[in-house]
Homo-oligomer: A and B are copies of this chain.
Amino acid sequence: MTDTPPLPDFDLYGFTPYRLAVAAKHTSEQLARQYRDRFGISIPEWRVLVHLAHSGNTSVRDIEARVAMEKYEVSRAAKRLREAGLIERKENPEDRRLIILSLTVEGQKMMAELLPMAKAHQAELEKRLGDAFKQLEAGLEALLNETK
C-alpha cells in the first residue's frame, strides 16, 4: 500500500537540454578518443590549440571570450600544453598583465595532422545526416545567437 503523490509526467528523452548533451557527447566522443589516444590531448586543450591555429597569437582572456571556456580552464589547458611543448608564452610588453600564447613548431606539426581529422569528422557528420544536418544547424544557429 504505497501512496504515491501524483508527480507531473516528464520524460527525460523529450527534454532539449538533455538531448543536446547526449548529442554533444555522441558526436565528440569518437574524435576525442582519437586525439586522446594518439596525441594525449583533452577537449579543453584541443579547443585552445584550434583557436591558436586559427587566430594566431592571443591571450588567455581572448581565448576565454571566444571559445566558450572559463578563464581558469584556458589557463590550465595552456599550462598542460606548455609542459607538453606544444605552445609557448611570452609577455606582452604593452600590457604586462597579458600573456601571448602561440603554437610552437611542434604544436604546428601536430595541428597539421589533427585539423584534417576534425575536418573529415565534420564532413562525415554532414554526409550521414543529410537534410537533417541543415535543420540541426539552423536550430543551433538560432539557439547560439539567442542569448548572446
Contact = CB atoms under 8 A, between A and B. Distances in A.
Given A5-B108, A12-B50, A15-B122, A26 B137 contact: no
B143 A8 contact: no
A7 interface: yes
A146 B136 CA distance: 14
Given A10-B115, A54-B12, A133-B139, A27 B20 contact: yes
Given A122-B16, A125-B16, A112 B144 contact: no
Contacts of A128: 146
A16 B137 contact: yes
Interface in A104-147: 108-109, 111-112, 115-116, 118-119, 121-122, 125-126, 128-129, 132-144, 146-147
A51 B115 contact: no
Contact of A10 (B5, B7, B119, B139): B119
Given A15-B118, A137-B16, A53 B112 contact: no
A31 interface: yes
Contacts of A20: 20, 23-24, 27-28, 140
12 contacts: A5-B109, A9-B54, A10-B50, A10-B54, A14-B122, A19-B137, A20-B24, A128-B146, A132-B141, A136-B136, A139-B139, A139-B140
